Amino acid sequence: MAEAIAISLSAKLAVALSRSAALGLSPLFGVRSEIAAAARDLDLLRAFLRFVDSHHGADALAAAWVKQVRDAAFELEDVADECCYLSAHGRAWGWVNVRAWFAVLRQLRKARERLRQLSAAKEHYGIRPAADGPAPAVGAISQMLAESAHFVEKEEIVGFAAHERQLREWVVEDPEPRRTLVSVWGMGGVGKTTLVTRVLKEVATPHFDCDAWVAVSQRFTVDDLLRKIIKELHHGGGDADADYRSRVEAVRRHLKGRRYLVVLDDVWDAHLLDKLRHAFLDDGTGSRVVITTRSRDVANAAAHGRTMMLEPLPWRESWTLFCNVAFKKAPGRSCPSHLQEIAASVLERCRGLPLAIVSVGNILALKDTTEFAWSNVRDSLVWDRSSSDLGIGEAASILNLSIDDLPHHLRTCFLSCSIYPEDFLIKRKILIRMWVAQGFVDDRLDHRTAEDVADDYLDQLVQRSLMQAVVRNEFGRAKRCLVHDLIRELITLRSREEQGFFRFVNCRVTVDSSTRIRNLALDRCEAVDSRSVPKVALLRSFCAFGSELDAAFLSRFRLLTVLNLWFIEMNKLPDSVTNLHNLRYLGIRSTLVEDLPRDLGKLQKLQTLDCKLSMVRRLPSSTTKLKSLRHLILFTRETADFWKAFPGTVVQLPEGLENLTSLQTLKYVQADTETVRSLASLEKMRSLDLSGLDPSLTADLPSSISRMRCLLRLGLEMEPDAVLDLETVTPPPLKLQKLALAGRLAGGKLPSWTSSLTSLTQLRLSGCEIAEDSLLLLAALPRLVNLSLIAAYHGRNMTFARGSFPTLQKLTLQDLPNLDHVVFLQGCLVNLHDLVLALCPELTEIPHGMENLVLLQEFETFGMTTLFVDKLKEQNGDAGFYKPASSEFLRAPRLSRYLRWVGRNN
């Protein structure tokens, strides 16, 4: 992480360098030359900063040195951001603030001198970069835990019965004669090694001629891995001096003609199998190679259909495992009634992670079974690898390996997630916009926006099992995410130390004056005033969730880049917010803010303005001066009750929208003549939602849409008397992925170019009154996943032909008053998982051909006639159409409390 700071700061110094050059400041102040020299100094230290990233305190001297370098880097960052702040208003602003520029120069020289001293100290004390790989202590713990999986008691394996059966079937019963690769993946500590080792012990001897179990580790070499495999196969060390070719040949000789089983435990490199493929013979003996990994990318190397994901245990299995360990000596392994509340609170913190449950259970098994003793343990647990007194450090070390393995850009982004409350469903779009605003994303890439890059970052974190995708969108990407509580506690500790992230929960905020806070998050805190947080002017991000804020507190920010307020009972943002010249993200989502500052246009660097479900009904006219604005999200709540987010109203924009040429997102706004015509200038638009389209506007809209070559999402809502003709959109938005139309279409038809929307995944039609010919346009779309027809079809019959809708996974037919006959022919909707039939009064017969929907998992109905429901019950039973209950995960106690607090996260 120390190296990540250096890289991020180098980028900031480059920006400051360019701005100082634009202002012509170098001849008078020497600022530009000093910034360039500081950037060079920092670059020289980067290699040595890797030391702390790989050792994390294993060397106390190096750790102390890196901490000082980090502080110096923060001072340089202050200088860089101050330069950007002072240059916000161009040349005149820079020349007027002579005193401020001289102060910057003094601070810059001081920081440079400190870097020089630290560089000299490094040489004086002989501090050298470590070899690649985790700290020795961490590697030893990881190896020990992996080896101990061979001796786990049966009682410590809970909740994996189905996984065991499936894995045994893949490894032993599968008749495939070719060598097959099987993968088991999931987050650290979820039980992958334990599961695979248990199956290996049962099947190896009776079903395979030879077997090998090898711990791969985070930083392996192919030669070392081959040596371990030879040792496992020969039960000896082999030739230590042999080269790669000799070792491969040795493995091949031993495996030739044999049915073998090889387990590669904890694989981090997706290309490992390519490096070993010559060693693992494929001679038709039915051999199997099983890998465990934390990465979905690595797991995808397995044969088709041979990938297994392990998730944290649900509550019931977690409780069983905990009792089996903590009360292993008690009759029936049951928890006494007087300890159940304490045990439950401890178990909640484990959040279903078997490694953590077993670690805590083993500690409590040694304690007296009294409330006093158990309460002391509960209150003393620290989920940090340094907390060896209670043995929890082992679990933390395993989880930290996943964090240590992240490249610097992913680690910076991931640590920033520590600001979110427990059990908070993090929304993808908000997260990636904040990452972009904070400068965590490299936006100097061709053909991709910074948001696209950030989206890829998030996907990588999910694939590495560091973030859990609770809800996915139609493209399989995470839509809302959770960070596992144990990992969240780890990144909270690390982000505080390494990035200056501080978070306060349910308290009155007080901070020591010596504490360096750069990113502050408040979660349901009491009234906060400026005196409680010293150095508030140096904050880079401020986020508040359901806290009491004094507007004057916001006026003291200076170098802020992110201001994000949620569930705040504040009616007006102070005018001083417009002096935050470095502000890039302003969020007032789900607040009671009614008015934005009149001079909002002064925020020339603002990229995101998120007012969704605030009480803002109009934007100041200066909004159209925000030349850097990329995302404008508007939707006004109609009540001050946070529990009643909907219905709401869209917002009308001021004149001058055509000036916002950087806009990528515009939601949810009221259409008028000026707005519709201005859209023609917004050629970077990717997501657009317009409401209130009346007959006077529909003529100009097609030409505006046709200029949006990057459009991915489009939502249009017409007035009752309007008819929209989209046939004249030329060229059509061929990149469109999501389309929502509400209102009548010309001729009751979708435009003919709909069939060319080969990227379309989601289509929602409401009140469009289309006929069967329009359905035929949709039937062949190659990527359509979700189709909703709500009061949008006026025909009586609906027949789904063979081969139609090949990728559709969810179909909703709702409020179709004429529909009385539905037929699913064989070979249609071959991927349909969810079917919804609702409010179709004429449909009294169950759709014909339901048996042809071979992958149907959920069939939901509501508002149907009694006759229809009775026939459905008679044919399928109640379970045939009721949706399954929520998963155990969503019924977890703490998540339920959170959902009650924040509703649907808006």
How far is the C-alpha of 697 from the C-alpha of 551, rounded, in Å? 41
**Residue type at 180?**
T
Pick from 93-107, 604-618, 792-806: least confident: 93-107
Mean pLDDT of 56-79: 73
Residue 465 DSSP code: T
So what's the pLDDT on residue 247?
85
Mean pLDDT of 442-454: 79
Neighbours of 606 (CB within 10 A): 27
Are 328 and 155 in contact by the 8 Å Cβ rule? The answer is yes
- Domains of the chain with CATH codes: 1-125 (no CATH), 137-309 (3.40.50.300), 315-336+346-396 (no CATH), 411-498 (1.10.10.10)
How far is the C-alpha of 334 from the C-alpha of 319, rounded, in Å? 10
Cα 469 to the center of its chain, rounded Å: 7
Q: Is the pLDDT of residue 390 over 50?
A: no
Q: Is the pLDDT of residue 892 over 50?
A: no
Band of pLDDT at residue 504, cut at 50, 70 and 90? confident
Are 827 and 835 in contact by the 8 Å Cβ rule? The answer is no
Buried residues in 531-556 as b, exposed as e (16+ CB within 10 A): ebbbebebbbbbbbbbbebeeebbbb
Q: What are phi and psi of 220, to 5 degrees?
A: -100, 160
Are 504 and 523 in contact by the 8 Å Cβ rule? The answer is yes
* Lookup result for tokens 């109640």: 878
SS3 for 332-390, per residue?
A: HHCCCHHHHHHHHHHHHHHCCCHHHHHHHHHHHHCCCCCHHHHHHHHHHCCCCCCCHHH
Residue by residue, DSSP assigns 138-181 as HHHHHHHHHHHGGG--GGG--S-HHHHHHHHIIIII----S-EE
So what's the pLDDT on residue 903?
39
User: Which tokens go with 325?
Assistant: 């360990």
* Lookup result for tokens 């997706």: 270
Strands 478-482 and 468-472: antiparallel
Pick from 134-138, 286-290, 542-546: least confident: 134-138
Burial of 481 (0-12, 13-18, 19+ CB in 10 A): buried
So what's the pLDDT on residue 477?
80
Are 710 and 684 in contact by the 8 Å Cβ rule? The answer is yes
How far is the C-alpha of 819 from the C-alpha of 798, rounded, in Å? 8
Q: Is the pLDDT of residue 906 over 70?
A: no
Beta strands in 57-171 (DSSP E): none
Query: Angle formed by the axes of helices 31-55 and 60-86, to 10°?
Result: 150
Q: Is the pLDDT of residue 781 over 50?
A: yes
Distances (CA, A) of 602 to 82, 166, 627, 632: 17, 61, 10, 16
So what's the pLDDT on residue 468?
85
Show Cβ contacts of residue 99 under 8 Å, excluding neighbours closer than 6 positions: none
* Lookup result for tokens 């001096």: 241
Band of pLDDT at residue 388, cut at 50, 70 and 90? very low
Q: Where are the alpha helices (DSSP H) in 438-504?
A: 450-463, 485-499
Q: Is the pLDDT of residue 692 over 60?
A: yes
So what's the pLDDT on residue 879?
42
User: Which tokens go with 703?
Assistant: 């030409």
Mean pLDDT of 455-481: 86
Note the pTM of the prediction, 2 decimals.
0.81
DSSP SS3 for 664: coil
**% of residues, the chain, pLDDT over 70:** 81
So what's the pLDDT on residue 90?
52
Which tens digit of pLDDT belongs to each residue from 865-884? 989 988 888 876 544 444 33
How far is the C-alpha of 824 from the C-alpha of 802, rounded, in Å? 8
Tell which residue, 594, 563, 560, 600, has the closest CA to residue 580: 560
Burial of 108 (0-12, 13-18, 19+ CB in 10 A): buried
How far is the C-alpha of 501 from the C-alpha of 415, rounded, in Å? 9
Residue 850 DSSP code: G
DSSP SS3 for 224: helix
Neighbours of 41 (CB within 10 A): 19
Are 652 and 670 in contact by the 8 Å Cβ rule? The answer is yes
So what's the pLDDT on residue 150?
55
Q: In the chain, how long is the greatest CA-to-CA distance? A: 89
Distances (CA, A) of 205 to 201, 210, 235, 283, 679: 8, 8, 15, 20, 70
Band of pLDDT at residue 849, cut at 50, 70 and 90? very high
Are 769 and 794 in contact by the 8 Å Cβ rule? The answer is yes
Band of pLDDT at residue 682, cut at 50, 70 and 90? very high
Which tens digit of pLDDT belongs to each residue from 558-594? 889 999 999 988 888 999 899 998 999 999 999 999 9
Q: What are phi and psi of 683, to 5 degrees?
A: -75, -10
User: Which tokens go with 861?
Assistant: 């109905």
Q: Is the pLDDT of residue 131 over 80?
A: no
**% of residues, the chain, pLDDT over 90:** 36
DSSP SS3 for 635: strand
Mean pLDDT of 843-860: 91
Question: Of 6-15, 336-345, 506-515, which one has max mean pLDDT?
Answer: 336-345
* Average pLDDT taken over every residue of the chain: 81
Are 883 and 409 in contact by the 8 Å Cβ rule? The answer is no
So what's the pLDDT on residue 45?
57
So what's the pLDDT on residue 215?
84
Mean pLDDT of 232-243: 65
How far is the C-alpha of 232 from the C-alpha of 215, rounded, in Å? 11
So what's the pLDDT on residue 389?
46
